A and B are shown apart, each in its own frame.
Chain A
Amino acid sequence: MTAQVVLIVDDDHGYRFPIANLFSDQGFSVLQADNVESMRELSSKAGVWIVDVRLPTEKMEGIEAVRQLWNDQQRPKVFFISVMPEGTAQLQLRILQDKSIPYRWLEKPFELEVLLTEVNDSLARG
């Protein structure tokens, strides 16, 4: 695993595309997944996960996928992206807090620069 690999999980190519370009222009390797199954395959290869909260899987949504796949030893940086504000997912997020999984929440649409800064800052903090 390398911290310079970013995994973007969103079923909407229209969102993945600008985010992927943003990071590849900055020298990151970019992996993309449009569902939980692809995310499961790629998650261990990336140090930064940018995950849409609402994924088209009946039972498993973005937060639940992170809860299952997040590895304590590798400690990937997690960024949730959603058109809904953070307050609407309080119950599910509490499960992450209980497991001490750190995350940041960005409401769509956000400025690409903001996401880049957040990711760089969190990588710098280690």
Chain B
Amino acid sequence: MSGPCKDDILFAISNAASFDDLGRAIVDASVRAFDAEVSTIWRRYVDDAGVVRLGLLAASAKAPQTLAQEVTYVIHEEDRDGRNADGVTGYVAQTRREVHVSSFLELKEKYGFCWKGKIDKNQWENNPETYFRSLLVLPLCLGDRLVGVWKLENKKGSTQGFTESDREAMRQLASEIALAVHSFGLLEEREKLLIEMPAKMVAALLGPFDPKRLTTEILKAVADSMQAEICSLWRVDPGEKELRLADGLGFSTEARVQQTYYLAEPTVRDEDIDGITAWVAIRKKPFWANSWEELQAHPSWRGKWDRQMWHDRHKGFRCLYAVPLLRQNSVIGVLKVENRRGAMFFTDSDRALCGILANLIVLLDLGQQIRAALLSDLVHLIRSPIGQVSMNLDGLEREIRKTQKGGTFHVDRAETYLDFIKKALLTINMNSRTLMAFVQKTERMAPPEDRRPVLLRAIVEECCKEIEPLLFSRISIQKHYAVSAQNTQVELDTIDRTSVQIAIDNILYNAVKYSKDGGIVEVLLEEADQQAILTIQDHGSGIAPEDLPRIWEPGFSRRAPGHPQGTGMGLSTVQRILDHLGWKPLVESRLGEGTVFHITIPL
């Protein structure tokens, strides 16, 4: 092979942007450089069952690539003389010896003991005697480590097969190709992990609500990514005094028993810290050891975990990486991986990956907490007012029974029971309607032709009618429709109509909720200059000036005395609805005097 041909292959390697690219570039350059009809590259991999195999990385255009991809060779790595080799390709992989033959007869004579003709039916139409002329196969190794196998077949225009200079040139290139295949293989594996791991973790988060299962799923994902034999997750307890084992993989139940680390103050000396795991949490720094000696040399090492894990023998230990889980600079736990599968230590890149995974765990943890808090809030929103209805009814019944037995009937007390029941029912009604607005937002399906003119007065009437039976504490609603607005219409589809009702309901509900006993809520509808104005005014407690700009914020909720908790979503929902319709709200309020909502509706 001439110099420029070798350069051709090296150029192909240097320009490869992906693993597939690399394989194709090498085989295409190979057939040109060595005048071969076919070139293939096979890579070593371990399948899901743990079997070591050779699989096709790339084949030159002449090879029946699709069919060859189905062929794999099992490598019996311990069989270095190749007696049990799976085909000639498997023989080269196991023995690390090159194979060169110039005829099919020679192939059968020399390698008949292992030849299986696996690929011949695809490549030579089951007729290798006719088509097969020569073969040159080289192992691709880095030192003693097998990376793959490189094959050339049928030297063009020659009955002697590949020349000695071809073989020498291949040998010279083999280590460079091996290095490239190995590096690209590592990158591809890492890339796959980086893509798959977040997806796996998110899938775990979206699964059935079960924090324990989620922790286990996270650990499985981490152990897979890091190829760690042992993986454990430690959480700081709520009192921030201890680090407790949340879950772990790869160790016995014995090692789980009451495993905790005491968390000392950050100012304590390293020597006084209760183990390396505690040191990682207190110092908020990662730690790694690639030998037992390195581990023991750490001033905080106590060997508590090691005694349980390795029974004081320490023989099983190879390497450890422990990383703190930090949320806004406070530590929530520690992630530990130990003993990289099939390797003596964790590399820098392993540690970088572990750092990324630790951040993902923190994110998942946060997601989990938010979900738990949301569910808990929902339970409160639903159960709290229902509980009030139930217990005030219970109180009212006791009051009636007491009277039946000759006791005094307390009218005021009975009225208060009824007030609480009405308030709770009103809250249930409002909370459920507000939640409904969120469902509508995501499931908006009304067709455009659904729009039709609606009397604004009719919507306002419906909203008041809905609330009136639940009015408490002698609060009343006074409605006034200006002559100009008697017949004012707006065009709305059915979904918008419901949304408008939800918005007006919410404002009315707030006006009632913050009114004083016997108070009046005024509702006024008027029309002028191509716009309608709906005003809802109460004379209740009013809104503090500092709170006024915040009332539209989601989650902002003022607790009205004597009322069950609101959703904190009411006014933010109102704003979203009004924005969508192009209606403009304006709020004025004075503390102790009341609040006025004006909604301007363009016509």
> Does residue B423 face the partner (Cβ distance < 8 Å to A)?
yes
Q: Does A105 contact B (CB under 8 A)?
A: no
Closest 3 CB pairs of A and B: A18-B395, A109-B387, A109-B390
- Please determine whether A108 and B384 come into contact, CB atoms closer than 8 angstroms: yes
1/0 per residue, CB under 8 A from B, across A2-32: the answer is: 0000000001111101110110010000000
Q: Is B420 an interface residue (CB 8 A)?
A: yes
B561 contacts A83, C-beta separation under 8 Å: no
Question: A91 touching B562 by the CB < 8 A rule?
Answer: no
Q: Is A84 in contact with B388, judged by CB distance below 8 angstroms?
A: no
Report the minimal beta-carbon distance from A117 to chain B, rounded to whole angstroms. Answer: 14
Segment at the A interface, from B126-134, B294-302, B361-369, B375-383: B375-383
Q: What is the size, in residues, of chain A's interface with B at 8 Å between Cβ atoms?
A: 24
Q: Which residues of A contact B420 (CB under 8 A)?
A: 13-14, 17-18
Q: Chain B binding site: helix, strand, loop or mixed by DSSP?
A: helix
Q: Does A123 contact B (CB under 8 A)?
A: no
Given B239, B387, B417, which contacts A108 in the complex, CB threshold below 8 Å?
Answer: B387
Partner of A14, one of B376, B380, B383, B562: B562
Distance in Å from the Cβ of B344 to the closest Cβ of chain A?
A: 40
Query: Could you show 10 A-B contacts with beta carbons less than 8 Å apart?
Result: A13-B561, A14-B563, A17-B420, A18-B394, A21-B399, A25-B402, A54-B380, A83-B384, A83-B387, A109-B388
The verdict on B398 contacting chain A, using a C-beta distance below 8 Å, is yes
Q: Are A14 and B394 in contact (CB under 8 A)?
A: no
Q: Tell me whether A72 is interfacial, beta carbon within 8 Å.
A: no
* A111 touching B416 in the complex, CB below 8 Å, given contacts A14-B424, A83-B379: no
Partner pick for B564 among A14, A95, A112, CB 8 A cutoff: A14
A12-B564, A15-B387, A18-B392 known, 16 other contacts, Cβ within 8 Å = A12-B384, A12-B565, A14-B423, A14-B563, A15-B391, A17-B392, A18-B417, A19-B391, A54-B380, A83-B379, A84-B380, A108-B383, A108-B384, A108-B391, A109-B389, A112-B394
User: Which residues of A104-119 are within 8 A (CB) of B?
Assistant: 108-112
User: With the chains together, A17 CA to B423 CA distance in Å?
Assistant: 14
Query: How long is the Cα–Cα vector from A17 to B391 in the complex, in angstroms?
Result: 9
Q: Given the complex, which residues of A lie within 8 Å of B239, measured CB to CB?
A: 95
Distance in angstroms between the alpha carbons of A58 and B154 in the assembled complex:
80
> Which residues of chain B come closer than 8 Å to A109, judged between CB atoms?
386-391, 394
B394→A91 contact, CB < 8 A: no
Query: Which partner residue on chain A sits nearest B397 by CB separation?
Result: A112
Query: Size of chain B's interface in residues, with CB distance under 8 A?
Result: 31
Contact indicator B391/A112 (Cβ below 8 Å): yes
A102 at the interface (CB under 8 A from B): no
Q: Does B285 contact A (CB under 8 A)?
A: no
B190, chain A: closest CB distance, angstroms: 38
- Give the CA-CA distance A17 to B392 in the complex, in Å: 8
> What's the minimum C-beta distance from B416 to chain A, rounded to whole angstroms?
6
Instruction: With both chains docked as a complex, state the minimum distance between the C-beta of A102 and any C-beta of chain B, in angstroms.
Output: 21
Does B238 interact with chain A (Cβ within 8 Å)? yes
Bound together, the chains give a CA A109 to CA B423 distance in angstroms of 16
Asked if B395 and A84 make an inter-chain contact with CB atoms under 8 angstroms apart, the answer reads no
Task: Give B residues with C-beta under 8 Å from A.
Answer: 238-239, 376, 379-380, 383-384, 386-392, 394-395, 398-399, 402, 413, 416-417, 420, 423-424, 559, 561-565
> Are A83's CB and B416's CB within 8 A?
no
Query: In the complex, how many angstroms separate the beta carbon of A8 from the nearest chain B beta carbon?
Result: 12
Cβ A84 vs Cβ B238 within 8 A: no
What residues of chain A lie closer than 8 Å to B390, measured between beta carbons? 109
Looking at B376, B394, B423, which has the most chain A CB atoms within 10 Å of its CB? B394
Interface membership of A38, Cβ < 8 A:
no
Residues of B within 8 A of A112 (CB): 391, 394-395, 398
Q: Which residues 77-110 of A sit at the B interface, judged by CB distance below 8 A? A: 83-84, 88, 91-92, 95, 108-110
Known contacts being A12-B564, A83-B383, A83-B384, is A17 close to B417, with CB within 8 Å?
Answer: yes
Nearest chain A CB to B394's CB is how many angstroms away? 5
Query: Please, which residue of chain B has its CB at the minimum distance from the CB of A18?
Result: B395
Distance in angstroms between the alpha carbons of A110 and B392 in the assembled complex: 11
User: How far, in angstroms, from A21 to B402 measured CA to CA in the complex?
Assistant: 12
Residues of A within 8 A of B417 (CB): 17-18
Which residues does chain A contribute within 8 Å of B561, judged by CB atoms?
Answer: 13
Whether B376 lies near A91 (C-beta < 8 A) is no
Q: Which residue of B lies closest to A92 (CB)?
A: B238
Cα of A22 to Cα of B383 in the assembled complex, Å: 22
Contact at A15–B238, with CB atoms within 8 Å? no
Nearest CB on B from A55, distance (A): 12
Give the distance in Å from the alpha carbon of A88 to the alpha carbon of B209 in the complex.
14
Most buried by A among B380, B388, B417, B563: B388
Residues of A within 8 A of B380 (CB): 54, 83-84
In the complex, the chain B residue whose C-beta lies closest to that of A111 is B394
User: Which residues of chain B are within 8 angstroms of A13 by Cβ–Cβ distance?
Assistant: 420, 561-562
| Residue of A14, A22, A84, A88 with highest tally of chain B CB at under 10 A | A14
Asked if B559 and A14 sit within 8 Å, CB to CB, the answer is no
Q: Inside 8 A of A12's CB, which chain B residues have their CB?
A: 384, 388, 564-565
Which B residues lie within 8 Å of A22 (CB)?
A: 395, 398
Q: Specify which chain B residues have a CB less than 8 angstroms from the CB of A110 in the assembled complex.
A: 391
Instruction: Identify the closest chain A residue to B407 (Cβ).
Output: A25
The distance in angstroms between the C-alpha atoms of A21 and B390, with both chains bound, is 15
Q: Whole-angstrom distance between the alpha carbons of A13 and B384 in the complex?
A: 12
The CA of A111 and the CA of B423, in the complex, are separated in Å by 20
Q: Considering only CB atoms, which chain A residue lies closest to B396 in the complex?
A: A18
**Are B387's CB and A88's CB within 8 A?**
no
Q: Mark A51-85, 1 if CB is under 8 A from B, else 0.
A: 00010100000000000000000000000000110
CB-CB nearest in chain B for A11? B559
* B395-A21 in contact (CB<8A): yes
Tell me the nearest residue of chain A to B421, going by C-beta.
Answer: A14
Nearest A residue to B559, CB-CB: A56
